Amino acid sequence: MGGSSVRRYDRGAVGAWPWRSRAARRRAEAELRASAERYRQLFESSPLPMWVFDTRTLAFLAVNDAAIRRYGYTRDEFLARTLADLRPVEDVAELRDDVARRDGSPRVWRHMTKRGELISVEITAHDLEFEGRRARLVLANDVTQRLRLEDQLRQSQKMEAVGRLAGGIAHDFNNILSVILSYSETAIDTLGPGELRDDLEQILGAGQRGAQLTRQLLMFNRQQLVEPRVLELNDVLADMTRMLQRLLRADIELAVHPAPDLGAILADQGSIEQVVMNLVVNAGDAMPTGGKLALTTSNVELDRRDAEDHPGAVPGRHVMLEVSDTGVGMDQGTMARIFEPFFTTKERGRGTGLGLSVAFGIVQHNRGHIRVDSTPGRGTTFRVYLPRIEAIAAPHDDRPRLATLYGSETVLLVEDDIQVREVALAILRRHGYAVIAARDGDEAVRACEAHPHHIHLLLTDMVMPGITGRELARRLSGLRPGMKVLCMSGYTDLADVADEPDTGTAYLQKPFTAETLASCVRHVLDGDVVPAGKAS
């Protein structure tokens, strides 16, 4: 061996077995390429938009097919843009701050598509190095529809909660108003001209205004008794045009443009008139220096896209009423709240804030929806869509005028509110009727069993402790099969009325006056079933 040295390889030494080291590197490189290919496939095949952008310049470095489809840009157009190009101008500054201090938690942003559509997108992002640059991988989940439905649910829950409150207030208030209106009307009839009569007429007028307010509350809560029938919207507008013109100032020009072949709708005429009147009054208030107001009708067909873009809309054929003004218009913040009950932009004392919410409730109850477009300084357009039906509107004959409001029949009066019971008792007796008064259902049953003679009419409140008026009527029908029934209430569930078979039952909406109560009783006794809501 001499002085020569031999290099020995230790299997455990670093750098040993160089041929195996090269093989390991090749395997690692292959695994890396396979992993990169898997991630590329996941990136490209993701059903949600994904992209990579440079965190310094915000330039797009890569984008998948889902992003191209959702945003409408080609791949080359995408890669020629920056992330700021997807954001509304007012959001760009916040975007740059967010990129600088990103904490990785999901967040919802507003994005713009190529065609200008504004969408809400939940962003999830992760930092990475891409082709030697500091970058961020983004997954964008379009939550526009989800947020819209959530907002619709919140609005519906809010309307329902306020509606329950409004209905409860209206119930109690209508009992009070029945007493005020009835006694005021009776006192006026017994007095000649003079200062006291004038004072009572002021009280009566105030009570009537209160009754109008409670009617609006009940319409908002969809508890006003209604009579749906086939209507021609053009005929409704023609009947209302003169009255609508009187509601508007002289400096507002009203024009009505009816479609010649307009379809029919199924709705309560009084409720539809309320919608038209509320929209017209609202438009008039929006034109303090005058302007033009146009009412236009047309037939429209809503497709699935319309329904998706407008919560509450249903695909199919509709009749549309457009109410367009040249007034001051509204900003986005105001438009978002206009259908909220008691919301108003008018100065204090000049409105209840119920007009548009009442219109919204009525239209919704009739399976329709309302849309609004507005630009500050350029006016507002409301569009009301109601389902079109294949039917012909029949002429609607009013009930014949009564020859007398007096009678001698026996009436079983059931009312839990003592003041309402007392005033109804006085009105009926003053008109010649024999009256048996009861404060609840149990007392009414005992009175009915004990009374030896014929009872011609059951006049009962709908909502009472223990038993409802309708349940009482069914219970007494076995004892008095020929007895007619008149139900009265200031708080009535329309669904309950609509689902009941036609039993000849009549309904009287509170608050009532002496004349409306006497008239309704006489109609029922004479065999004319009173249409729901038409007696008061």
Higher pLDDT, 500 or 22: 22
HSE at residue 345, side-chain half, CA atoms within 13 A, is 16
Task: Quote the pLDDT of residue 534.
Answer: 42
Task: Quote the pLDDT of residue 8.
Answer: 43
Interstrand relation of 379-387 and 316-325 (parallel, antiparallel or unpaired): antiparallel
Task: Quote the pLDDT of residue 531.
Answer: 45
Burial 93-104 (b: 16+ CB within 10 A, else e): eebeeebeeeee
Band (pLDDT 50/70/90 cuts) for residue 2 is very low
CA geometry: angle 505, 507, 513, nearest 5 deg = 140
Output phi, psi for 242, to 5 deg: -65, -40
Task: Quote the pLDDT of residue 403.
Answer: 67
How far is Cα 483 from Cα 425, in angstroms, rounded to an integer? 19
Any idea how long the chain is?
536
Task: Quote the pLDDT of residue 172.
Answer: 81
Interstrand relation of 379-387 and 410-414 (parallel, antiparallel or unpaired): unpaired
Report how far apart, in Å, the C-alpha atoms of 37 and of each of 33, 47, 61, 126, 138 are: 6, 18, 17, 19, 18
Q: Say yes or no to pLDDT of 249 above 80.
A: yes
How far is Cα 108 from Cα 97, in angstroms, rounded to an integer? 15
R_g of the chain computed on alpha carbons: 36
Q: Say yes or no to pLDDT of 313 above 70.
A: yes
Higher pLDDT, 268 or 420: 420
The mean per-residue pLDDT over the stretch 236-251 comes to 89
Report how far apart, in Å, the C-alpha atoms of 121 and of each of 23, 71, 207, 360 are: 47, 11, 53, 29
pLDDT digits (tens, 9 = 90+) for 158-182: 767 766 776 777 778 888 889 999 8
Task: Quote the pLDDT of residue 13.
Answer: 45
How far is Cα 192 from Cα 196, in angstroms, rounded to an integer? 9
Look up residue 13 and give its DSSP letter.
Answer: S
Q: What percent of the chain has pLDDT over 70?
A: 81
pLDDT digits (tens, 9 = 90+) for 44-72: 888 999 999 999 999 999 999 999 999 99
**Can you name the residues that pair with 256 across neighbouring β-strands?**
295
Task: Quote the pLDDT of residue 68.
Answer: 94
How far is Cα 511 from Cα 16, in angstroms, rounded to an integer? 103
Q: Are 261 and 319 in contact (CB under 8 A)?
A: no
Q: Can you spell out the DSSP letters for 208-253? A: HHHHHHHHHHHHHTT-S---EEEEEHHHHHHHHHHHHHHHS-TTEE
Report how far apart, in Å, the C-alpha atoms of 260 and of each of 297, 298, 354 are: 9, 8, 33
Least confident piece of the model among 114-118, 140-144, 398-402: 398-402
Task: Quote the pLDDT of residue 459.
Answer: 96
Higher pLDDT, 480 or 12: 480
pTM comes to 0.54
Residue 353 gets the label, from left (phi > 0), alpha (psi -120 to 50) or beta, of: left
Instruction: Give the burial class of 120: count Cβ atoms within 10 A of its Cβ; 0-12 exposed, 13-18 middle, 19 or more buried.
Output: middle
Q: Is the CA virtual torsion 437, 441, 447, 448 positive or negative? A: positive
Q: How far is CA 238 from the centre of its chain?
A: 27
**Can you name the residues that pair with 252 across neighbouring β-strands?**
291
Task: Quote the pLDDT of residue 328.
Answer: 92
Query: Residue 414 has which token pair?
Result: 């059931």
Band (pLDDT 50/70/90 cuts) for residue 4 is very low
Q: Say yes or no to pLDDT of 330 above 60.
A: yes
Task: Quote the pLDDT of residue 114.
Answer: 92
HSE at residue 196, side-chain half, CA atoms within 13 A, is 8
How far is Cα 325 from Cα 328, in angstroms, rounded to an integer? 9
Ordered structural domains, the chain, with CATH: 46-142 (3.30.450.20), 148-220 (1.10.287), 230-387 (3.30.565.10), 410-525 (3.40.50.2300)
**Average per-residue pLDDT for the chain:** 82
Task: Quote the pLDDT of residue 520.
Answer: 92
Band (pLDDT 50/70/90 cuts) for residue 307 is confident
Largest CA distance in the chain: 151
The mean per-residue pLDDT over the stretch 105-117 comes to 89
Question: Could you count the other beta carbons within 10 Å of the beta carbon of residue 326?
Answer: 19
- Find out whether the peptide bond into 511 is cis, omega within 30 degrees of 0: yes
